[in-house]
């Protein structure tokens, strides 16, 4: 039985009958309306560990994603699971600071700081990739943090973020805060967070982790890690985007 038939059986187990399934880069996927995507994700996520397929909202245009070869996938998973996350984030920090050396503009503080008065955590159900009619993929992975390795996800062409890096960081946040991958595209990762940090010192420390992992959410988004600590870190949805 092929992967499309396997996916059809899984969908029938949660009451979705005769879906129009499409092969998206080797991933069986079906189309759904915005109001359906998150409820369907929650239902399918409950079955994921038993069936070995993780549901992922892929957005309205998922054609850039694909399964990679078994050897490449296994190498990325092994590297990610064995990675020292703090050390890797430190390397990313040093890479960014080295890149910025020699900038003729006024000296910029990294990570950027600033007031965050009046800001509140954003909507926990406001997933960007679920805002339009789009595709739900059933990725052959037993856990969400493995999905970037299975899909060979680099998340943006301007950063040295390899699939193993995503595996390591997402696994780290899963263990500490219950973060789980919900949605992914070629430049976006979105997580549901079951136990977001609340202690102010921890919140700020996690905001800094998120900055070294994905600077664009600050530099082209909320502008400071203090704002990130106010609107994202204590929220139950985390959004990452690489330009």
**Domain total in the chain:** 1
Output the average pLDDT for the chain: 91
Tens digits of per-residue pLDDT, 131-186? 999 999 999 999 999 999 999 998 655 567 899 999 999 999 999 999 999 999 98
- Is the pLDDT reported for residue 69 higher than 90? yes
CA–CA separation, 185 and 152 (whole Å): 11
The count of residues in the chain is 243
Phi-psi region of 16 (alpha: psi -120 to 50; beta: other; left: phi over 0): beta
Q: What's the sign of the alpha-carbon dihedral 108, 112, 114, 118?
A: positive
CA–CA separation, 173 and 195 (whole Å): 10
pLDDT for res 100: 66
Q: Which two structure tokens, joined as six digits, stand for 57?
A: 């909202």
* Domain of 152, in residue numbers: 3-241
Within 13 Å, how many C-alpha atoms sit on residue 51's CB side? 20
Residue 140: name the closest of 130, 151, 129 by CA. 151
User: Which three-class secondary structure state does DSSP give residue 241?
Assistant: strand
Tens digits of per-residue pLDDT, 83-132? 999 999 999 898 888 876 655 555 667 899 999 888 899 999 999 999 99
How far, in whole angstroms, is CA 40 from its chain's centroid? 18
């Amino acid at each position: 039985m092929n992967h499309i038939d396997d996916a059809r059986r899984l969908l029938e187990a949660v009451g979705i009958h005769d879906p129009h399934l499409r092969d998206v880069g080797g991933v069986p996927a079906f189309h759904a309306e915005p109001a359906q995507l998150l409820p369907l994700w929650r239902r399918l996520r409950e079955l994921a560990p038993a069936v070995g397929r993780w549901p992922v909202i892929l957005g309205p245009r998922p054609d850039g994603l694909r399964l990679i070869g078994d050897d490449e996938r296994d190498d990325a998973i092994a590297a990610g699971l064995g990675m020292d996350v703090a050390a890797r984030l430190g390397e990313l920090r040093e890479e960014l600071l080295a890149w910025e050396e020699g900038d003729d503009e006024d000296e910029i503080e990294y990570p950027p700081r600033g007031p965050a008065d009046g800001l509140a955590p954003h909507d926990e159900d406001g997933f960007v990739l679920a805002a339009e009619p789009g595709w739900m993929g059933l990725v052959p992975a037993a856990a969400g943090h493995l999905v970037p390795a299975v899909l060979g996800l680099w998340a943006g062409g301007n950063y040295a973020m390899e699939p193993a890096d995503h595996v390591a960081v997402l696994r780290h946040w899963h263990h500490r805060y219950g973060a789980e991958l919900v949605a992914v595209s070629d430049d976006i990762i979105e997580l549901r967070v079951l136990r977001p940090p609340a202690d102010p010192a921890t919140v700020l420390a996690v905001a800094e982790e998120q900055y070294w992992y994905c600077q664009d959410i600050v530099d082209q988004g909320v502008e400071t890690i203090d704002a990130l600590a106010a609107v994202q870190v204590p929220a139950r949805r985390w959004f990452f985007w690489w330009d």
